Structure 1
Amino acid sequence: MDHIYNFSAGPAVLPQEVLQQARDELLDWHGCGMSVMEMSHRGKEFMSIAAKAESDLRELAAIPHNYKVLFLQGGASSQFAMVPMNLLRGKKTADYIHTGQWSQKAINEAKKYCTVNIAASSEDANFTYAPAQDKWQLDSNAAYVHYTPNETIGGVEFNWTPKLTHSNNNIPLVADMSSSMFSRPLDVASFGLIYAGAQKNMGPAGLTIVIIREDLLGMPIPGTPTMFDYKVHADHDSMYNTPPTYALYITGLVFEWLKNLGGLAAIEKRNIAKANLLYDLFDTNDFYHCPVTKSDRSHMNVPFTLKNPALDSEFLKQAQAHGLIQLKGHRSVGGMRASIYNAMPIEGVMKLVAFMKEFASNHA
């Protein structure tokens, strides 16, 4: 089979080196006679895998000692409920920044547990920008502030980290980093809680990573199911129940791959270079259009439309023939979307840009 470049928004492309190592270790991990899929999650073999994955994760993100790392299931969508269940701590309201479909889902779920204050929204421009922090209308009594640093569907990214400065309150910042986690350096200490599904930028579907400051543990709302209590998972080192063992193993290999590349600063440079190839094309060729405000363009998810929408099907057909797949935009917005996560090599983006130039020339 000819090599393809997979621009899926998730589950997404994984590093070739990781897949090759997983293939080589599939039947017998390090001479133990078992596949990782067969191991007891409490056996010494898998415990060593989990410990190394957490150690590498902590090293990559420079996670402070007063933060717990949790390897959970249920996807980031479960976190939409777990966050208010665990972080309200007797308060009645929470602040949310509304920037698209994923923040909307988080808002809808939080409304089941508290009053949601929409502190800022970009709905007035069809979610094509990230609201500046000086426009946020925060509630000084809110339990936390939640935002989505990168909207996977709309391709809007906060290229800055909010700073909360309530003088009399310690209001934690919460972030759904599912589609931007580990794509650039991360100041964990700026956040009370970070969560991310692995299937976009870190590993396969099935694993969700939560990084939570220790002082936020242990105060869930009454009636919170045991499996939805962060402290339970923290107290049991993410082994309260059987974790998604193989997904955790693959994600650990991705962490090793990132370290070998030079860490998050190095991968950020690669990601910027890839994104610039596409955005430079949009800015110099009116055959294609990116709806996102330039300052808020995502380095991970690049949405675009063709000048003539009637050509969409032909574009996708020819792209696939060139080995460029999963470029169709989300059903809710249409058009095209190229997701260029960490594992997408720059050669894939170069091939996409070359095809797009050729297609535009042939259909001008």
Structure 2
Amino acid sequence: MSTNKRAYNFNAGPSALPLEVLEKAQQELVNYNGSGMSIMEMSHRSKDYDEVHNNAINRLKKLLSIPDNYEILFLQGGASLQFSMIPMNFLTKDKTASYILTGSWSEKALKEATLFGNAVVASSTKDNEYRNIPSIEDIQFNASDAYVHLTSNNTIYGTQWKEFPNTGDVPLIADMSSDILSRPIDVNQFGIIYAGAQKNLGPSGVTVVIIRKDLIEQANSEIPTMLKYKTHADKNSLYNTPPTFGVYMLGEVLNWVENQGGLETIQKRNEEKAKYIYDVIDESNGFYKGHAEPNSRSLMNITFRLADEELEKQFLADAKAAGFVGLNGHRSVGGCRASTYNAVPIEACIALRDFMYEFQKKHQ
């Protein structure tokens, strides 16, 4: 593959970024806005960075139609730190937190919560090898719970929530790291939405937290300063030095999404991209075997196996030679996975479809 050719990037994260965003960042890397400095070199208290920071917040607010009673925070530590911050702030001794298990990341979130208080399983599809999202009727929680937690898209197993439970007065908290901005959502359904940036939002290093203001005021105050949501909300995420270049890139990705036509357009494109690959699987007469049940399939992570491990190894080796990157399944489950996040172009998905057809013809 020539050095100037873009790879067919199906990495699960960090993942593909829009080419035009990368090219704009390249142009501005050394001298941002005539400042004579890179955005990475300037003070996070400067006028130039302040504009970048607030533009990113406003773009996200506009794209997701985030109401005024929510704060938008740019934090660090990834979604994994949120697994701890959430119970530290909201799981008091007299409360229970309910976790819906749909894969490894929700398991990790539950494990962290048990370090701080009583956390229970509201529903789980582990017995079915996490092939599906639980039916809303099967979710069990109490009106007195501190919160209900779910993972909206499961990168390892390739499943995704199509609709979310109505938890009433109990705050619903969602880890949306791998499908935020992939479709319109009703933010009002959630007390907190959090997401690591490295799938659909930008490079790794930034974590977006969308949190209802009343929850911030109710949070536990007897925890370390940096782990309080209020600390960051009170200072517009500038209490300490933020990941300035990551926020800049996030803002440019948000601008790109807006220029594509917004989330409705992005959703239609994601549906089209995923269909190319799912159609190959469904039409292969079992040559390719999808992991997720059809009604729970993710538009972001398409997981599948071949007949045996030797054939899978051959598939992955041939795919790599053909310019495809990141098709290995997660190390914990093996198999194959194509992550078709927002910035993965339609052409890459068509190319993968054609490659899968040709590989089947050769090896059936």
Fold match (TM-score > 0.5): yes
Match of 1:54, SS?
A: helix
Q: For each residue in 1:190-241, what CA deviation from the matched residue of structure 2 results, as whole angstroms up to 9, or x when unmatched?
A: 1000000000111000000000000001344364111110011000000000
Q: For each residue in 1:17-41, what CA deviation from the matched residue of structure 2 results, as whole angstroms up to 9, or x when unmatched?
A: 0000000000011111110000100
Residue 151 of structure 2: aligned partner: 148
Following the alignment from structure 2 to structure 1, what is the Cα–Cα distance between the partners of residues 94 and 63?
34
Residue 353 of structure 2: aligned partner: 353
Shift of 1:261: 0.4
Native 8 Å contact 1:201 1:341 kept in 2: yes
Following the alignment from structure 2 to structure 1, what is the Cα–Cα distance between the partners of residues 243 and 207?
9
Native 8 Å contact 2:93 2:117 kept in 1: no
Following the alignment from structure 1 to structure 2, what is the Cα–Cα distance between the partners of residues 349 and 228?
40
Match of 2:74, SS?
A: strand
Match of 2:208, SS?
A: strand
Match of 2:67, SS?
A: coil
Following the alignment from structure 1 to structure 2, what is the Cα–Cα distance between the partners of residues 254 and 242?
21
Residue 101 of structure 1: aligned partner: 104
Shift of 1:159: 0.9
Match of 2:85, SS?
A: helix
Residue 133 of structure 2: aligned partner: 130
Native 8 Å contact 1:282 1:288 kept in 2: yes
The question of 1:55 aligning with 2:58 is answered: yes
**Structure 2: runs of 5+ lacking an equivalent:** none
Residue 173 of structure 1: aligned partner: 172
Native 8 Å contact 1:117 1:139 kept in 2: no
Residue 324 of structure 1: aligned partner: 324
Superposition pairs of residues 3-22 of structure 1, within 5 angstroms: 3-22=6-25
The question of 1:192 aligning with 2:195 is answered: no
The question of 1:29 aligning with 2:38 is answered: no
**Structure 1: runs of 5+ lacking an equivalent:** none
Q: Give the structure-2-normalised TM-score.
A: 0.97
Following the alignment from structure 2 to structure 1, what is the Cα–Cα distance between the partners of residues 103 and 265?
29
Following the alignment from structure 1 to structure 2, what is the Cα–Cα distance between the partners of residues 100 and 164?
21
Q: For each residue in 1:298-318, what CA deviation from the matched residue of structure 2 results, as whole angstroms up to 9, or x when unmatched?
A: 000111101232112221111
Q: For each residue in 1:101-152, what CA deviation from the matched residue of structure 2 results, as whole angstroms up to 9, or x when unmatched?
A: 0000000000011111201000110111000110111122210000001011
Percent identity over the alignment is 49
Following the alignment from structure 2 to structure 1, what is the Cα–Cα distance between the partners of residues 112 and 80?
9
Match of 1:42, SS?
A: coil
Native 8 Å contact 1:86 1:218 kept in 2: no
Following the alignment from structure 1 to structure 2, what is the Cα–Cα distance between the partners of residues 189 and 219?
18
Following the alignment from structure 1 to structure 2, what is the Cα–Cα distance between the partners of residues 89 and 70?
23
Residue 240 of structure 1: aligned partner: 239
Match of 1:36, SS?
A: coil
Match of 1:217, SS?
A: helix
Q: For each residue in 1:39-90, what CA deviation from the matched residue of structure 2 results, as whole angstroms up to 9, or x when unmatched?
A: 1001100000001000100000000000000000000000001111122356
Residue 118 of structure 1: aligned partner: 121
Residue 313 of structure 1: aligned partner: 313
Q: Give the structure-1-normalised TM-score.
A: 0.97
Following the alignment from structure 2 to structure 1, what is the Cα–Cα distance between the partners of residues 313 and 294?
27
Residue 75 of structure 1: aligned partner: 78
- Select the residue among 38, 41, 47 that pairs with 1:38: 41
Residue 257 of structure 1: aligned partner: 256
Q: For each residue in 1:323-361, what CA deviation from the matched residue of structure 2 results, as whole angstroms up to 9, or x when unmatched?
A: 111100001110000000000001000000100111111
Following the alignment from structure 1 to structure 2, what is the Cα–Cα distance between the partners of residues 91 and 215?
19
Name the amino acid aligned to 1:355: F
Q: For each residue in 1:139-184, what CA deviation from the matched residue of structure 2 results, as whole angstroms up to 9, or x when unmatched?
A: 222100000010111111001122123xxxx210000000000000
Native 8 Å contact 2:195 2:209 kept in 1: yes
Name the amino acid aligned to 2:139: W
Following the alignment from structure 1 to structure 2, what is the Cα–Cα distance between the partners of residues 246 and 22?
10
Native 8 Å contact 1:90 1:221 kept in 2: no
Following the alignment from structure 1 to structure 2, what is the Cα–Cα distance between the partners of residues 120 and 61?
28
- Select the residue among 158, 163, 170 that pairs with 1:160: 163
Match of 1:313, SS?
A: helix
Following the alignment from structure 1 to structure 2, what is the Cα–Cα distance between the partners of residues 89 and 126?
32
Following the alignment from structure 1 to structure 2, what is the Cα–Cα distance between the partners of residues 355 and 259?
32
Name the amino acid aligned to 2:325: I
Residue 85 of structure 1: aligned partner: 88
Name the amino acid aligned to 1:159: K
Match of 2:217, SS?
A: coil
Match of 1:342, SS?
A: coil
Residue 269 of structure 1: aligned partner: 268
Name the amino acid aligned to 1:196: A
Name the amino acid aligned to 2:207: T
> Which has the larger displacement, 214-223 or 136-145?
214-223
Native 8 Å contact 1:89 1:220 kept in 2: no
Native 8 Å contact 1:206 1:244 kept in 2: yes
Following the alignment from structure 2 to structure 1, what is the Cα–Cα distance between the partners of residues 163 and 209?
21
